[in-house]
Each structure stands twice: as structure tokens, then as C-alpha cells.
Structure 1
Amino acid sequence: MTHQRHDAPVLVLGSTGQLGKLLRHHWRDRQDVTWQARHRGAVPVLDWSARDDLSALTRRLPRTRAVVALWGVRADRPDALGDNTELALRAIGIARATGADRVLHCSSAAVYRPGPDPLAETDIPAPINAYGQAKLDMEQAIAAEQDRDPKGPWNIVMRIGNVIGADSLSRAMAQASQDGTAVTLDRFADGTGPRRSFLSAAGLARSIAWLVDGPSHALPRVINLAATGATDMADLVRHAGLDLAWRPAPATAVPLVELDTSRLRRCIGQTDISAAAPDLMAGWSPAWGVTR
């Protein structure tokens, strides 16, 4: 089995974003990573903005073996969602210019239409909101670019579940801890609350490490990243030691979003990735607002 070479660094784009901060912490002992950010901070980074001249960046970069594109536009910036496609294409351009043989792109469970069954990579995407549509547009642009340049870098689209420390529930719990208030969740007609596919920050780091370091011939074009099974949001709030309040779920609320992780588990050779609240939240503190 041929593994990716380790004589060139991994380039992580968007290292000061929410996912980037989590990955930096869990990859703190890796010596083979170049971190890109819009401005310099405590961690040594390549100081470069996504809108800066691409040729200027590539002249400053060494040969790169993999590009991890964590940069992107969140759902709370609806006017800029189209930038997700532009950023993905720039990541591919950087990979070409630096000799990387793979690019990892961050997509989302939002590209799927929620339903009662686990959502598999082979399901036809059918997003129900603008953020999901923007991510699907990005995925389609990546696929078109791959087809246009089949000998270029291999593109892996990661459809990521809710990452503890980087999702809206984590932010709500951090705010509730700071304010001494309760976290409010929707309650559906059957008495249950929302259930989602989650992933711990450590689980995210392990999954990305496998995709970066693993054999290139085994890499899928699309892969769901999440723990095995869905987790009740209320369990996470209770595990954090916070008060919980309920409100009637509006008609637009979604009770379940569960990703099928069969492909991920086959790839990394792991039979189960725990979705239990204590495992997902290991190392998390509401006072920090992020997983450490």
C-alpha cells in the first residue's frame, strides 16, 4: 500500500477560523504543517488573505503535498455565501501551483435533505436552505474542475457534521455559561428535541489526518465526517452542566440530521466513532467557547 510522501508540508488554509483553531490545537505536535491566515498571531502562520494575488503566494510557498481548505463562509453571512465556490477553486489553484496531490474541502451536512434515515454520500443532494445550496454549488464546481483536469490534484469533499466547539450549539452554550442563562432548544410534538450528527474536535483532527496521510488510491471524492449515530442536543447541554429551556418547535424545525458514516469507518478502519456526549465534549469548557 502506497502512502502519501512526507517530504513536503501540509498547507492548511483558514487556520484562524473556528475549525482552523481546533485543528491547530490537535495538530500542535505536527512539524509538517504550514498554517495560512489573514493576519499573524501567536502561532507561526503564512500571512496571506484569500483575496491576495495567488502568484505572490505560490512564490513564497515550498512544495506542498496536501492542501486542507478550512476557509469558507458561514451560514450567518448570507450575502457572501457565493464566496465558498471561489475559495474552493483558489485552493485547487494553490494545490496545482505547489505540487500537492490532494485537496480537502469543507462542505456540510446541509447539502442533504433531512429525513428519518442516515444520509449517505450516494444520496442525491437536496439542500433546504441557502447555506446548503451554496455548499452544493461549491461541490459541483469542484467536481467540474476535477473532470476538467483529471490528472491534477485529487479533490476530497468532506461533508462535516456539527463540530463541537465550532457549531451554533457550542456558541449558545458558551453564551449561556457567560450570562448564567439557559440554552433553549426546540421541542417537537412527540416530546423529543433535535438530534444531529456531531463530531469532536479530536475526531475531526484524526479524520483529516487520515485523509492527508493515507494512501491516495483509497481516497473518496466525497466523505461524511461525523460520529456514529445522532446525538440528542439536550444530552450535550446537560453534560455541560447548563440549564435547559424548551420552546415549541416551529414548522420549519428539523428533528433529525444523521450522517451515514459507513464510508468513513471503512476508510479509517474503525468500527465505531462514539457519539456519546462525554466523548464528544471531552476537553470542552463553556468558559472557552471552543474545544481544546
Structure 2
Amino acid sequence: MRVLVVGGSGFLGREVCRRAVAAGRQVVGTFHSQDIAVPGVAAHRLDVTDRAAVRALVAQVRPDAVVSTPYRYDDWTVTADGAANVAVAAAEAGVRLVHMSSDALHAGRPSPYLDDDVPTPIHAYGAAKAAAETAVRAVDPGAALVRTSLIVGEGSKQIQLCRDALAGRATLFTDETRCPVDVTDLADAVLELACSSYAGLLNVAGPDAVSRAELGLLVAGRFGLDAAALKTTTGAAAGVVRPTEVRLDCSRATDLLRTRLRGVRELLAR
């Protein structure tokens, strides 16, 4: 099986490349500025906003499956238009597509979000992810669209943010709840979906719902850092508009996938 990982130099994309190589698959990964640097991966520079270039690469690689992971938090063209370009190229080639989405497209509420709940974005990034989903579903109804949450693991931005807050260099919100997922668990789930025929939306995240501040405390416990030094505030006090309580109901993924999605408390247990 040949897998094309679009966005292979990102945190998740690089792990998907690693896990795919370890499973004996042929892997081609794309990058824009930062090389992938994973042994066994054929790397290609790609601008996902260039539809002709995306089409040409898919035609050249002739993959059995495409995993689409690219995003840029402050760039609509990469997050939304880029996803559409990848979907068009995959559909034209008749290739299986797994598109990575995000819980950021939800506004937040006390009750968990189901797989098929419609997006309710309240900031630009969430709107871009919602637009990406709309484009992918229109272009390729057979694609799997994975909604995930904060991705944690060795070298993750989320763990580093917690370390920075424990060192007084950043602040974590007490009123922003997510369901963190381990990067290796997520990568395995994505590759499992690439070999399946599942179509549509699927929540794939960890079972533990924690605030960003609680995540900081878990990181402090795991690495023996001073929890009393953790800097916290609320989104309202900081004057930011971001989703608050976003819990993903992953019961469908739990029933469907062999991959076990571990909770962040288990992951960060000493």
C-alpha cells in the first residue's frame, strides 16, 4: 500500500509517516518549508494552495490512500482551499481520502458533540475548518473526515505550552475544555481508516475531558514541575473569542476502530 501524507512535516503528519513506514507501507510525504526528515519517507515540497501542483503530485505518486493533514491557524487558503484542492485531486484519481478536521469548528456547550453535529464556528480558524469539511464532503462523499482535539505527545505544542505556563511564560485557560489525544493513537486510527471504507464524519479523540489548566497540572505531575507556579486565567478575562467546553463523543470510533484511544490522565501518569 502506498500512502501519500499531505502535510507530512507537521506534528501529526510526521507521526502518520513514521507509523506507516513501521507498518511496511510505501510512504510519500509533502512539506512546504520544513523537511519531514523521517527515514523511509519520500519527501516532496508542495504548496497545497496550488491546485495544479496538488493534482500533478497525486497523478505522479499514484497512492492507494491520501491522508490530508495540512493547516495554518491564521491562513484560510491553506486550511480551507488547500483541503479542497487535495480532495479534488484524490477524487479525480479515485483514491481513498482521510481528511483531518478539528473540534475548533464547534462553539462549545456543556453536552458532548456527536460525530454528525453541524459546525458552529465562532472564530476564523473554526470557520476555515468548517469550510474545509463542506468542500471535502461535496467533492468526495466517500472520504473519511476525522474531527479531533488537542494532540499531545513528545514534542507537541500543547505540552510545550503547559511547560511555558508552569515557567511563567504563558497562561492557560480554566474555562476551555478539550479531549486531548495522543499523537501515536491518532496516527494509528488515521491509518486504520485509510484502509477502511468508512465514509463521513468521525470523532477521534481521547476519553478524558480536561481544561487547559488541568492539562497543565497533569504535565506538572508527569515531569515533576512546580504546579503552584502555573499561570491561569479565563478566556473572558483575556478578551479572546474561542470555543469553551468542547467534548467529543467518540463512541462511534471506539466501536469502529481497533486502535485504543487513551485518555490524557493515563498518558501523563507517572
User: Normalising by the residue count of structure 2, what TM-score does the alignment of the two structures yield?
Assistant: 0.80
| Pick aligned residue for 1:117 from 111, 114, 117 | 111
Q: SS where residue 256 of structure 1 aligns?
A: coil
Pair 1:49 & 2:26 matched: no
Partner of 2:122: 128
Q: In the superposition, relative to structure 1, how do residues 250 and 227 fare at CA in structure 2: closer, same or farther (>3 Å)? A: closer
8 Å CA contact retained: 2:165, 2:216: no
2: CA distance, partners of 1:210 / 1:222: 15
2:89 to 85, 88, 94: 94
Contact 1:183 1:237 in 2 (8 A): no
Q: CA deviation at 1:210?
A: 1.4
**Is the counterpart of residue 138 in structure 1 residue 132 in structure 2?**
yes
Contact kept? 1:274, 1:280, Cα under 8 Å: no
> Higher helix proportion, which one?
2
Counterparts in 2 of 1:59 and 1:211: CA distance versus 1, 3 Å:
closer
How do 1:194-233 residues align onto structure 2 when only pairs under 5 Å count?
A: 194-214=176-196, 216=197, 219-231=198-210, 232-233=214-215
Q: CA deviation at 1:182?
A: 6.3
Distance 1:28 1:103 in 2: 18
Q: Give the count of matched residue pairs.
A: 252
Structure 2 unaligned regions, length at least 5: none
Displacement of 1:254 in angstroms is 5.6
Q: Specify whether residues 54 and 208 from structure 1 end up closer, same or farther in structure 2 by C-alpha distance, changes over 3 A only.
A: closer
Go from structure 1 to structure 2 and tell me whether the alpha carbon gap of 1:254 and 1:240 turns closer, same or farther (over 3 Å shift): farther
Partner deviation per Cα, 1:32-82 (whole Å, 9 max, x = no partner): 222222365533423231236345424532x321100111222xx2xx223
Other-structure match for 2:77: 82
Question: 51-60 or 116-125, which moves further after superposition?
Answer: 51-60
**Superimposed CA distance per residue, residues 202-221 of structure 1 (whole angstroms, 9 cap, x where no aligned partner):** 2112211210123x1xx130
After superposition, the Cα gap between the structure-2 partners of 1:56 and 1:27, relative to the gap in structure 1 and judged at 3 Å, is closer
Provide closer, same or farther for how the CA distance between residues 141 and 41 of structure 1 changes in structure 2, counting only shifts above 3 A: closer
The CA deviation at 1:134 is: 0.8
Unaligned runs of 5+ in 1: 1-7, 189-193, 283-292
> Secondary structure at the residue paired with 1:25?
helix
Distance 2:269 2:60 in 1: 38
Q: Percent of counterpart pairs with the same letter?
A: 25
Equivalence for 1:161: 149
Measured in 2, the distance between the counterparts of 1:34 and 1:281 equals 35
Amino acid at match of 2:182: S
Q: What whole-Å deviation, never above 9, does each CA across 1:123-142 have from its counterpart, x for those lacking one?
A: 23211211111111111112
8 Å contact 1:37–1:45 — kept in the other structure? no
Distance (whole Å) between structure 2 residues aligned to residue 88 and residue 25 of structure 1: 22
RMSD: 2.8
Cα deviation per residue 1:131-173 (whole Å; 9 max; x = unaligned)?
1111111111122223xxx6xxx21111111000476532313
In structure 1, the residue matched to 2:63 is 64
Distance 1:187 1:230, change over 3 A: closer
TM-score of the superposition, structure 1-length normalised? 0.75
Aligned residue number for residue 161 of structure 2: 172
Deviations 1:101-131 (A, max 9, x none): x211111101112111111123232112111
Which structure has the greater CA radius of gyration?
Answer: 1
Partner SS, residue 147 of structure 2 = strand
Alpha-carbon distance in 1 for matches of 2:54, 2:118 = 34
Are residues 228 and 174 of structure 1, via their aligned partners in 2, closer, same or farther at CA, if it must alter by over 3 Å?
same
Distance 1:229 1:9 in 2: 34
d(CA) in 2 for partners of 1:227 and 1:212?
A: 20
Pair 1:93–1:220, CA change in 2 (3 A): closer
1:91 CA drift (Å) = 1.3
CA contact (8 A) 1:183 1:243 kept: no
State the partner residue of 2:172: 185
Determine helix, strand or coil for the equivalent of 2:171. strand
The CA deviation at 1:195 is: 3.2
SS of equivalent to 1:31: coil
Please tell me whether the aligned partners of residues 59 and 93 of structure 2 are also in contact (alpha carbons under 8 angstroms).
Answer: no
Q: Does the aligned pair in 2 maintain the 1:196–1:233 contact within 8 Å?
A: no
Task: Output the CA distance in 1 between the equivalents of 2:59 and 2:199.
Answer: 30
Instruction: Report how far residue 230 of structure 1 moved.
Output: 0.7
